[in-house]
Structure 1
Amino acid sequence: MRGIVKSVLGVVLAASAVMGAGAGTSAGAVGPEVGPEAEAGVEVGGEVGVEADLAHHGHVSLWDGRVGVWLVSENHGPSDLSQATVRLAFSEPMAGGQELPTACLWSSDRVVSCRTGELRAAAGVGELALDLRTAGLPDELTVEITTAWRDGAAADRNPGNDRHRVLVLATGDPYVF
C-alpha cells in the first residue's frame, strides 16, 4: 500500500510540475527510461534503467512551536534526473493554513512533499527552506526525510544517503542530517 501511495504521489507532483511549467515532458512516466542514458544504466528485475544516487542533507530546528527545515538535494549520478520528490514526514501535526513554496504541497497535516527540480549528475543541487508552525508546542518531534520518487531512475545503489530520521528537541539548535 505504501508503495502505491508513493507512486501516485510522484505522478501527481510530476504532473503539477509539467502543468506549472507548461511543457510536455515525460513527467507521467515513472518507469525506467530506455535511451541514450541507458548506457549509464543498470539491470533491475530484467530491465535496464537509469541509475541516480540521490542524497539529502541539511538541518532541522524546533523552537516555540516552529519548525525550520533547510534541505539540500544532490545527485551523485551517474545519470541526470529531470525531477525527484522528497518527502518530509513530521511526528507532530503542523498548524493548518500554512503556505508552502511553489514546489511543495501538503500530503497531510504531518507530511510535506516537494519537487527538487532538475538534478544533473555530479552537479545537480536543489535547495529547500521551510518555516512551519506546529499545531501545539511539542518539546520534541521526529522528521523523516526520504526520496519518494525519482523520474526515470530505476536504481539507487546507495539509498542510505537519501533517507534520514532526525529527533529534534525544542531548543532552537540545528540538528544536522
Structure 2
Amino acid sequence: MAVRRGAVRSVVVAGLLALGAVAPGSAQAVGSGWAGPEADVAYHGRVALAGTQLRVWLVPENDGPAALPNATLRVRLSGDLADRQRLAEGCARAGLREVVCETGPLPLHGRGRHVGLVLEMRERAPEVLVRVDTWWNGGATDRNRANNEHVVLALDTGDTYAF
C-alpha cells in the first residue's frame, strides 16, 4: 500500500493532538486557551454500495475566515473493510472500519483535493452506514460542525446517495 508521507504525518499529528499534545511549531501554550485560526471545513460528496464495493467521492471545502494548510478527513463504516485495500494517494487505513485522507491545502473560500475511494468490504451487507468527519484540522476552530459531520446510509443497490 503506497501512502504519501503527508498523510502519515497528518495521522500522527492527529493522534498526538487527540492525546493532548501540542503540534510542533504551534504557538499554543498549554493552558492558554488559544484555539488557533478559525475555519469552516465542509464536505460534499456521494456514496454508492454495490455488492462488497463501496464508492466514496467527496470534496473538502473551506468557507473561512482563515485558510488551512492541510486537514485530515475520516471515513468510518458500519462494516469491516476487507484486509487488502487500494487506497487513493494521501489516504491510509486507520482501523478495521476507518480510512483517513489528507485534504491538501484548504484556501479561504476554496476547495481541497477531490478524494475518491473504492473500498472493499469484508462481507456483503444489505446496507452500510458511512460517517464522514474531520479527524484533524491543524488546530483550527470550526464553529459550524454541521457541514463537516455527515452520516449516510448506502443500500446495496448501486444507487448514489449524496451528502
TM-score of the aligned structures, taking structure 1 as reference length: 0.75
Q: Distance in 2 between matches of 1:136 and 1:57?
A: 27
Partner of 1:161: 147
Contact 2:59 2:111 in 1 (8 A): no
After the TM superposition, list the runs of 4 or more consecutive aligned residues in structure 1 that deviate by more than 3 angstroms: 28-33
The structure-2 alpha-carbon separation of the partners of 1:140 and 1:66, relative to structure 1 and needing over 3 Å to count, comes to same
Matches within 5 A, 1:29-40: 29=24
In structure 1, stretches of 5+ residues that fail to align are 1-8, 15-27, 34-44
Cα deviation for residue 134 of structure 1 reads 0.8
Cα deviation for residue 11 of structure 1 reads 5.1
In structure 2, stretches of 5+ residues that fail to align are 1-8, 15-22
Structure 2 SS opposite 1:52: coil
Matched, 1:89 2:89: no
Structure 2 SS opposite 1:73: strand
Contact 2:11 2:72 in 1 (8 A): no
Cα deviation for residue 132 of structure 1 reads 1.2
Cα deviation for residue 29 of structure 1 reads 3.5
Cα deviation for residue 86 of structure 1 reads 0.3
Structure 1 SS opposite 2:114: strand
Structure with the largest fraction of helix:
1
Matched, 1:111 2:98: yes
Cα deviation for residue 78 of structure 1 reads 0.8
Structure 1 SS opposite 2:67: coil
Cα deviation for residue 103 of structure 1 reads 0.4
Matched, 1:55 2:25: no
Q: Equivalent of 1:139, from 126, 129, 142?
A: 126
What whole-Å deviation, never above 9, does each CA across 1:63-116 have from its counterpart, x for those lacking one? 111100001100111101001000000000111111212201001121000100
Cα deviation for residue 49 of structure 1 reads 2.4
Structure 1 SS opposite 2:152: strand
Q: CA RMSD for the aligned pairs?
A: 2.5
Q: Equivalent of 1:170, from 147, 156, 161?
A: 156
Q: Distance in 2 between matches of 1:101 and 1:143?
A: 18
Identity of paired residues, percent?
40
TM-score of the aligned structures, taking structure 2 as reference length: 0.81
